[in-house]
Structure 1
Amino acid sequence: MKALALREDRFLDVLRRLIALTPKLQNNPGAGLVPEERLAAQVVLDTLAPHIESGFIQAESVAGPGQASRPCLVLTVPGEGEGAIGFVGAHFDVVPADQKTEGWERSPFELWEGPGGVLYGRGVTDCLGHVAVLTDLLAQLAERKVRPSRTLKVVLISNEESSELPGLGLNYVAEQGMLKPLDGQPVYWLDSANFGPTLGTAGVSLWELKVTGVGGHSGMPQNCVNALELGMAASLELARFFHERFPPTEDEKRWGFLSSSSLKATVVEAPNTKETKVPADVVLRGDIRLTPFYDLAEVQKTVTDFMAELDARLERDDAPAHFPRTRTAGGKRGELAFRFQGEGTEGIACRLDSEGLRALKEAMQVVRGVSATPFSLTGSLPLVRDLQRQGCDVQITGFGDMQYYHAPNEQARLEDFRQGFAILRELLVRL
């Protein structure tokens, strides 16, 4: 086991093939981008085919009815002893990329190898580089017939970059009972960067605010309620309330969160395209990122109640002082209709006293020659809190450059993945 090291030719070949597929792996259904994760899964299966046929690796493709093009892969290497270890969370889908509008310096859909071992392309860090590392690790275990002490379960997932859908993603794998062998066992979630470890993540809840105003001629504002202005004012009032009501906590310092909880608008939709027409209808959407020290359901209720009261204030003509016009000269008023889109996803505070974290820090020290630098962030991961509730010792790490997550010019260094491979090897040695 100790002799294993990243086989760079295979890693780069797998990564190159995966990134070439990214035009069909982009995940944004609202923009018509529905990924076909089976294309990426097939690259992994083709690479591991001899070892699946030999029986050294057990492979299961998991997707619900009607979702055959969007599977997860569960890859199992039976161990020599009792217990299990999970490498979970690396995913096949990617965030959309547009070379022209986002300012990519070269094509995001081709792997480019630059000076100093730079690897460039959509998915290098998030998360196809992790998929390629795990593929090479499994292949090397099989080629050398090296079995870990514990049974190794590698779960590569679909639909990580979008909201939960029936029959898809890790939730569906869990519903089928395929994560049960990991109950009470160390589980390493491999979808982060900068090594860390990442000690915690935030919950996420998407929201929508529909604003109904009164449209009309911009030169007759007395007859109008500007839905765009009202929506902007309402979203800012909501953000002000949220940040006062849910401030930073002492536990955030202990876990090293880089940011506190936040609420913000991220999308504005208005059908109006004429500068001299006051818009009558606007939809704002956004998200809440909530550190795990607040209860997500309670926060959702508090926010919903606040927005209902804000709309009631408009009815009473008691809008906050800084608000724009909320009622026309003829008495028609603007309306606010707020809702959350689904239940949301909870965040996690990983155990700080666990065997899994100790092993991860030791592995990083051995491989990188420096002490681990733990941090937490308000990105969000699916199902991690549920796994923790099941008794799993969930820890989070990842390889690559965090500043390029979901960003143009995504890149990492080959050395990141050399070290990442070695860290995974050391975890198998220690556990």
Structure 2
Amino acid sequence: MRKLGETKLKLKSTVVAIFIASEENSSIQGVGVDALVKDGLLKKLKQGPLFWIDTADKQPCIGTGGLIPWKLHVTGKLFHSGLPHKAINPLELAMEALKEIQLRFYKDFPPHPREQVYGFATPSTMKPTQWSWINQIPAECRISGDVRLTPFYNITDVIKKLQEYVDDINANIEKLDTRGPVSKYVLPDEQLRGGFDTANSGVACDLNSRGFQVLCKATGEVVGHVKPYSIIGSLPLIRELQDEGYDVQIAGYGVCQHHLPIRRLIFHDYMRADTTEVY
């Protein structure tokens, strides 16, 4: 904004800058961009591109992934490790059940042809990220993980399918592979349960929009090259903006090094960002 004030450019368009709170809409809801949309304060912005500045590496980000956190609660039968034939080992059961769930997931949601167009480094994935259990051959264990979904699949369809996998495994538990001569998963009180938390959908930006073309041209002029990319990480809220009819385009000027406890930036990159955004 200062750059616009200093250069006093005669623009053919109106520039509106919005500084939002609660960027990921997680800790405090109803005070960020979702509240602005709900109150109709952004309606006029549908007449032009909306640039969401929240990624990294100075290049247009043209796609993001959806996120489905999940938890699989596996119930077995507690018993001494020296008498495994009297136990149902939930760790083994969890490994076999998760293997079956993953095989079904990758069959139903294979790499999508449009992922290559958008440059996604990976297709949709479903994998565990945390594991916890209690002592002996435990009575139960819990596995947590996530689904990272490219924007070409519907979040609701995936959640429905995952629940179908779990329900079918529950109904046919004896058909799972076992591990050794005394490993088994069938006892009267045995159950396998799955549950799913809240989810965010991914975004595929409109590559034919004027907003995308302008962003690419400005990036090329200032940075020296243009290499749009997509990430399987999720950016909450912007899919909702896209669904409301906004031409959402994404860029950012931080340093991309996973999820650091403290986000990093290079001041020189932000000075170039100033130039890019007013080009």
TM-score (norm 1): 0.59
Structure 1 residue runs of 5 or longer lacking an equivalent are: 1-137, 427-431
- Residues 247, 229 of structure 1: CA spacing in aligned structure 2 closer, same or farther, 3 A cutoff? same
Match of 2:172, SS state, is helix
Please give the alpha-carbon distance, in whole angstroms, between the structure 2 residues aligned to 1:386 and 1:409.
27
Matches of 2:46 and 2:132 in 1, distance apart? 44
Q: What's the offset of the Cα at 1:319?
A: 1.9
Match of 1:359 in 2: 214
1:416 to 269, 274, 279: 269
2:99 to 229, 236, 245: 236
Change (3 A) 1:358 1:304: same
In the other structure, the counterpart of 1:180 is 43
Which residue does 2:129 correspond to in 1?
Answer: 266
Q: In the alignment, which of 179, 195, 198 is matched to residue 339 of structure 1?
A: 195
Q: 2:142 aligns with which of 263, 283, 286?
A: 283
**Residue 346 of structure 1: CA displacement?**
1.2
Q: 1:166 to 1:412 in 2, by over 3 A?
A: closer
Q: Is the 8 A contact 2:66 2:148 kept in 1?
A: yes
Report the Cα offset of residue 237 of structure 1.
Answer: 2.2
Q: Work out the percentage of aligned pairs sharing the same amino acid.
A: 33
User: 1: distance between equivalents of 2:20 and 2:29?
Assistant: 17
SS of 2:274's partner is helix
Q: Distance in 2 between matches of 1:267 and 1:172?
A: 34
Post-superposition shift, 1:139? Answer: 4.8
Q: Summarize deviations over 1:367-392 as a string: whole Å, max 9, x none.
A: 1122x101111111122222223221
Distance, in Å, in 1 between the alignment partners of 2:201 and 2:27 is: 13
CA contact (8 A) 2:70 2:146 kept: yes
Task: Give the counterpart of 2:175 among 318, 332, 340.
Answer: 318
Asked if 2 retains the 8 angstrom alpha-carbon contact of 1:215 and 1:224, the reply is yes
SS at match of 1:155: coil
Match of 1:252 among 109, 112, 115: 115
Q: Secondary structure of 1:283's match?
A: strand
Q: Deviations over 1:243-276 (max 9, x none)?
A: 1221112111111111110111112232x2x4xx
Say whether 1:390 aligns with 2:253.
no
* d(CA) in 2 for partners of 1:173, 1:266: 35
**Residue 159 to residue 411, structure 1, CA distance change in 2 (3 Å):** closer
Deviations 1:187-232 (A, max 9, x none): 1111111122111111111111111111121111122112233223
* Match status 1:309 vs 2:162: no
Q: Quick check: 227-236 or 210-219, which moved more?
A: 227-236
> Among residues 116, 133, 150, which one is paired with 2:14 in the alignment?
150
CA RMSD, aligned part only?
A: 2.5
The residue number in structure 2 matching 1:113 is: none
- Establish whether residue 376 from structure 1 lines up as the match of residue 233 from structure 2: no
Structure 2 match to 1:36: none
Aligned to 1:200: 63
How big is the shift at 1:141? 4.8
1:393 CA displacement = 1.3
The amino acid across from 1:179 in the alignment is L
Structure 1: distance between partners of 2:217 and 2:227: 12
Between the aligned partners of 2:138 and 2:10, the Cα distance in structure 1 is: 65
Where relative contact order (Cα < 8 A, 6+ residues apart) is larger, the structure is 2
Provide closer, same or farther for how the CA distance between residues 300 and 424 of structure 1 changes in structure 2, counting only shifts above 3 A: same
Whole-Å separation in 2 of the counterparts to 1:216 and 1:289 = 37
SS at match of 1:394: strand
Aligned residue in 2 for 1:348: 203
Q: Is the 8 A contact 1:183 1:387 kept in 2?
A: no
Partner of 1:14: none
Aligned equivalents of 1:266 and 1:384: distance in 2?
Answer: 25
Q: Structure 2 vs 1, CA of residues 367 and 244 (structure 1 numbering), >3 Å: closer, same or farther?
A: same
Specify the alignment match of 1:216 in structure 2.
79
2:233 maps to amino acid: G
Q: How many pairs were matched up?
A: 276
**Contact 1:225–1:333 (8 Å) recurs in 2:** no
Instruction: After superposition, give the CA deviation of every residue in 1:131-188 in whole Å (9 maximum; x if it has no partner).
Output: xxxxxxx45556787786414132323152x758643543333323333232242111
